[in-house]
Every structure is written in C-alpha cells, then in structure tokens.
Amino acid sequence: MDFDLTPEQQALRQLARDFAQKEIAPVAALYDEREEFPLPVYQKLGEIGILGMVFPEQYGGGGADLVSLAVVTEELSVVDVPVGVSESVNGMVGSIITFFGNQQQKDQWLPPLAKGRMLCSFGLTEPGAGSDAMAISTRASLEDGQWVINGTKCFITHAGTPISGLIIIAVVTGESKSRKELSCIIVPKGTPGYNIGAPYRKVGWRSSDTRELSFLDCRVPEENLIGKRGKGFHQFMAVLDWGRIGIGAVAVGLARGCLDQSLKYAQQRVQFGVPISKHQAIQFKLAEMATNVEAARLMVLRAAHLQTLGRPFGKEASMAKLFASEIAVRAAEEGVQIHGGYGYIEEYPIARYYRNSKILTIGEGTSEVQKMIIARQLGC
Ligand SMILES: Cc1cc2nc3c(=O)[nH]c(=O)nc-3n(C[C@H](O)[C@H](O)[C@H](O)COP(=O)(O)OP(=O)(O)OC[C@H]3O[C@@H](n4cnc5c(N)ncnc54)[C@H](O)[C@@H]3O)c2cc1C
C-alpha cells in the first residue's frame, strides 16, 4: 500500500497551503465578521488555477483528480472553512457538466469554470425536500422548445456572488408509473424569472453566500437539460458521493485547524504554574484530536482514491463524511474547552471554528442520512 501523495499532489498541497497562509488567514475573520463573500480571495484562487483544478485540461482546467481536490480542500479549510467549501462545491457541480453534459454545454460552461472566472451552484434542497430528495416539487414543463420552471430552492451555496454564472437545478419533468421523473437543468444567472433572494443570516459559514432562489415562469432552452430526461436522480446521486468527499476534506481541515489553534494556546496559557499543555487532561484532548484528524484524512483520501480508480466509492464516501464531520464538531467543542472562557470570545479564531463546525454534520446529507446509506450498503 502506498500512502504517499504523487509529486503533483504534493505540489498542489504546497500551493494551497502557502495561499491559505498568505492570502486567506489575514482576512478570514474580517470577512466572517462582515458576513461578506471574499471576492478577491476567489479571484486569486481562480488565477492560480485552484478553482479550475478538476476541470479537464482540454477546456483550460488542471485535469486534477479527486485526491488532489481533497488535499487542496483540506489545506484551505484549515484556515477558513467557507473558502474550502466553495472551492469543493464548485468542482463538484462543474463535474456534472463534465460527466453528463453535452458538447455544447461543455464548450459554453467549462472554459470559464476551468479558468476560475465563474462559480456554479447546485440546487437540490427545497422548503419541503431536504433529506428526502425525491420530495422536490420544483417543476419544469416543456413548452415550444423551452423549459418553463416554477418552484423554490433553499439554502443554495454561492448562487448570488458577483462571479456566480449558473446553477444546475434538480426538477420534476414528469411522472411515470406514479414515480416522479427527475432531471437536471442549467439555469444561467440573469435568466428572467430566476430570482435570487437575500443571503441568510447564519450561525457559521458567514462569509459563504447562501440564499433562497425562486423560479417563476423561468424559461431556458430545451438544450439546457443535462444528459437524458429522467436521469436527474442518477446524476445528482453521483455528484453527491463526490461532494461528500469534499465536505469530508473540509471537516478534516477544520479539525486540523482546531488542533493547531488549541495546541498553540495550550502551550502558552499558564495555570497552576505550568502551561496547560502540561496537564494530562489537556494532553488527552489534543492526542484524541490528532488521532481523529489522521483517521478521518485516511478515510477521505481512500474514498477519493477509489473514485480515481473508477471503483465503487459511495459507501466509503458516506463513511468518510460521517466520521470526519462528527470528529470536526468534537474537535471544535474540545478546542473551545481548551481555550476556556477565551474560546467563547470572537478575538480567538477557535470561536469561528466552533460556529463553522456544526453544519458539517448536516449539509451534503445529514449524519443520519449517511448512516442510512451505509446501512443500505451493508444489506439492511
Ligand atoms: C449553509 C448551508 C449550505 C447549503 N448548501 C446547499 C446547496 O448548495 N445546495 C443544496 O441543494 N442544498 C444545500 N444545503 C441544504 C442541506 O443539504 C440540507 O439542509 C440537508 O440536506 C438537510 O435537509 P433539511 O435541512 O431539510 O433537514 P431535514 O431533512 O428536514 O432533516 C431534519 C432532521 O431530521 C433527520 N431526518 C430526516 N429524515 C430522516 C430519516 N428518514 N431517518 C432519520 N432521521 C431523519 C435529519 O437527519 C435531521 O436531523 C445547504 C444548507 C446549509 C445550511
């Protein structure tokens, strides 16, 4: 077994690590406080090729694999989770076009995505359909060569930023044998009838753009359908597996950030005449955090590696996402505990990590949903 990254993956990790330290760390708290999307950070991420790294080289992307994406996502998330999330979600959503799109869609959308000049979003969740994806009710009807879309999507990541270019939405396009026919359709930003709501005020991920979207007689050409009509469920399930690896990597990054912050603090904070890192109770917390980070990273990278080999990886992706997100929440909680009262004060980064952690066990499928998927694969 070879646990080493390739030279290319190591170079990408170094690039992301340096970028995170130089360009993200100095501004992360500021954008969080202002609840503002850090546009200059994304523009630079696009310029150095990170935003477009997983897109095919023939469209101007980096042609990197999912292991590389996981490694880079972890590095960005050590410093600032919302940046890691958007980078990973963008790669995942764009890959729907890479895997399932037609030539015209690839020619139109992949070059700007690959060059990092544009972000794309994915709209599955609705007010009445969260964990139960089949409950979606946003409908697209074919009229005179156009899809007419009506419905509402909620909690959509980075659909309303200045560089958001398109959203791929899951819609109902019909019924057959009392089963809903689900399809995925591209809706370019600016299409009449596609309305982007105000950003939510969130507990964490405050610099991440999250909005409700509504579609009111929104018309797009028939050719904006991705792949075959009725294949939407298969398409979004495939990318959700990929997305779970991304969120798993975000969670590893957050847990590692908590460990770094907590170790540094514990070595400086003196109580009872010694740095608190000399107290065994604190050492045990740090040791557990470090062990969990290693285990979660191995699970995330293994799932990503299986995907690059073209082998089934859905169960492993769910396991990795489940474990990594749960240990990330625990690392943030223990990190605050190690910081004592100062951990509850916003001047200390651990407070931001704490606020950013909880959604990791909810987004991209809750922990309960991951357990349902794993149990199903076990044959239950
Ligand atoms: C910041 C943020 C960003 C997001 N970004 C996106 C995005 O870009 N695109 C997108 O489509 N969505 C996005 N989401 C939505 C996210 O994926 C959903 O919130 C998530 O899937 C859970 O759905 P829900 O919130 O409706 O919870 P519900 O499905 O209502 O679940 C509520 C609780 O019930 C539990 N539950 C539900 N069904 C079962 C069951 N059968 N058995 C046991 N327990 C069950 C759940 O685990 C959970 O604990 C985002 C959400 C947030 C907050």
Residue 365 pLDDT: 96
Atom of ligand 1 nearest to the CA of 200: 1
Q: Give mean pLDDT, residues 236-243.
A: 90
- Write out residues with Cβ below 6 Å of ligand 1: 121-125, 130-131, 155-157, 202, 205, 210, 359, 362-366, 368-369
Atom of ligand 1 nearest to the CA of 158: 8
pLDDT tens track for 1-13: 889 999 999 999 9
Q: Ligand 1 mean position to 128 CA, how many Å?
A: 10
pLDDT tens track for 246-255: 999 999 999 9
Q: Ligand 1 mean position to 112 CA, how many Å?
A: 30
**pLDDT over 90 at 371, yes or no:** yes
- Exactly one of 74, 87, 126, 364 is catalytic; which is it? 364
Atom of ligand 1 nearest to the CA of 202: 1
Give the whole-angstrom CA distance, residue 84 versus residue 272.
39
Architecture of 120-229 per CATH?
A: Beta Barrel (2.40)
Two tokens, residue 53: 């790294």
Identify whether 35 is a catalytic site residue: no
Enumerate helices (H) and strands (E) in the chain, giving the number of each: 11, 9
Q: Ligand 1 mean position to 125 CA, how many Å?
A: 8
Q: Give mean pLDDT, residues 373-380.
A: 96
Look at the chain and count its residues.
380
Contact 187/198 with Cβ under 8 angstroms? no
Mean pLDDT of the chain: 96
Residue 176 pLDDT: 82
pLDDT tens track for 114-173: 988 999 999 999 999 999 999 999 999 999 999 999 999 999 999 999 999 999 999 999
Share of the chain above pLDDT 90, in %: 96
pLDDT tens track for 58-108: 999 999 999 999 999 999 999 999 999 999 999 999 999 999 999 999 999
364: left (phi over 0), alpha (psi -120 to 50) or beta: left
Residue 128 pLDDT: 98
Q: Give mean pLDDT, residues 347-367.
A: 97
**pLDDT over 90 at 238, yes or no:** no
pLDDT band at 340 (very low <50, low <70, confident <90, very high): very high
- Candidates 152, 196, 358, 362: which one to mutate for ligand 1, based on the most atoms within 8 Å of Cβ? 362
Residue 1 pLDDT: 84
**pLDDT over 90 at 178, yes or no:** no
Give the whole-angstrom CA distance, residue 239 versus residue 96.
7
Domain with CATH 2.40.110.10 in the chain: 120-229
Residue 36 pLDDT: 97
Domain with CATH 1.10.540.10 in the chain: 7-119
Residue 380 pLDDT: 93
Residue 138 pLDDT: 98
The reply to whether CATH 3.30.70.260 applies to domain 7-119 is: no
Architecture of 233-378 per CATH?
A: Up-down Bundle (1.20)
Q: Ligand 1 mean position to 240 CA, how many Å?
A: 13
Q: What angle, 0 to 180 degrees and rounded to 10, lies between the N-to-C axes of helices 232-268 and 349-357? A: 150
Two tokens, residue 109: 């959308």
133, containing H or E segment: none
Residue 355 pLDDT: 98
